[in-house]
Amino acid sequence: MAWLCSRCNKVQATFHLTDIARSGEKTERHLCERCAAEEGLHAIEGPISMAEAIEKFVIGPKAAAPLQNLVCEQCGISYREFRNQGLLGCPNDYDVFREVLAPLLERAHDGGTHHVGKTPKSLGIPRTTQQDVRRLKRLLAEAVAAEDYERAAELRDRIRKAEQP
């Protein structure tokens, strides 16, 4: 279906917008290219990256604008460059771009926000078996729920072994 621009009513609309208000109410608007440009809207060219999508839809354009120009003092990379390439410039970027990276990481890692697992020995973080035991107990509960008693028994033995001093 072809729409006429709802702003100038002269040209065929090529921008189709759906505004969703906080109340959930939707408003549809159809604009031609010129009117869209005058309202400060631009088409997204090519496939958009995950970083771009997060920035556009999660953080919002207003918040993202100053972040675009964030630059890491150590490696010199700007957030914009990272966004275009998908690769960071140095370890420090994780802190410099934290505000924009955090939602991106959470989304890419299905809600994961903190590292769980192996750590370098040199940091002296004790490698307790607590984490293992917690995991095994979770698996045990699942095995019992699934009535897989053979597996439950095996897991119970592994937990006992892990809990031995």
Partner 1 sequence: MSAPLDAVARRAGEWLRGEGPLHEIVISTRIRLARNIRGYSFLLRATAEARAEIADAICAAIRKAAMFDKYVNVDVGELDELDRRLLVERQLISRQHAEGSGARRVVFDHTEAASLMINEEDHLRLQVMRSGLQLDDAWKQIDAIDDALEAHLEYAFHAQYGYLTACPTNVGTGVRVSVMLHLPALRLTGELERVVHAAKDMKLAIRGLYGEGTEALGDFFQVSNQITLGRSEADILDDFRDRVIPRIVEYERVARDALIRERLHALDDRIHRAMGLLRSARVISSNEALQCLSHVRMGLHVGRLHSVDLRTVNELFLQTQPAHLQKLQGERLSGEQRSVARADLIRARLSHN
For 79-117, b where at least 16 C-beta lie within 10 A, e where not — what string?
A: beebbeeeebbeeebeebbeebbebbeeeeeeeeeeeee
In degrees rounded to 5, what are phi and psi of residue 18? Answer: -125, 110
List the one residue out of 32, 30, 51, 149 whose CA is nearest residue 102.
Answer: 51
In three-state form (DSSP H/G/I as H, E/B as E, the rest C), the secondary structure along 124-155 is CCCCCCHHHHHHHHHHHHHHHHCCCHHHHHHH
* Amino acid at position 11, single letter: V
Of 96, 101, 140, 159, the one binding partner 1 by CB under 8 A: 101
22 contributes a contact to partner 1 by CB under 8 A:
no
123 contributes a contact to partner 1 by CB under 8 A:
yes
Bridge partners for 4 per DSSP: 12
122 contributes a contact to partner 1 by CB under 8 A:
yes
20 contributes a contact to partner 1 by CB under 8 A:
no
How far is residue 121's CA from residue 126's CA, in Å, rounded to a whole number? 8
- Say whether 28 sits in a helix, a strand or coil: strand
74 contributes a contact to partner 1 by CB under 8 A:
yes
Of 9, 12, 130, 131, the one binding partner 1 by CB under 8 A: 131
Of 94, 99, 160, 161, the one binding partner 1 by CB under 8 A: 94
In the complex, minimum distance from the CB of residue 92 to partner 1, in angstroms, rounded to a whole number: 9
In the complex, minimum distance from the CB of residue 118 to partner 1, in angstroms, rounded to a whole number: 6
User: Residue 28 or residue 142: which is nearer to partner 1 going by CB?
Assistant: 142
25 contributes a contact to partner 1 by CB under 8 A:
no
User: Residue 12 or residue 84: which is nearer to partner 1 going by CB?
Assistant: 84
132 contributes a contact to partner 1 by CB under 8 A:
yes
Please report, as ranges, the residues that interact with partner 1 according to CB under 8 A: 74-77, 85-91, 94-95, 101, 104-105, 108-123, 131-132, 135, 139, 151
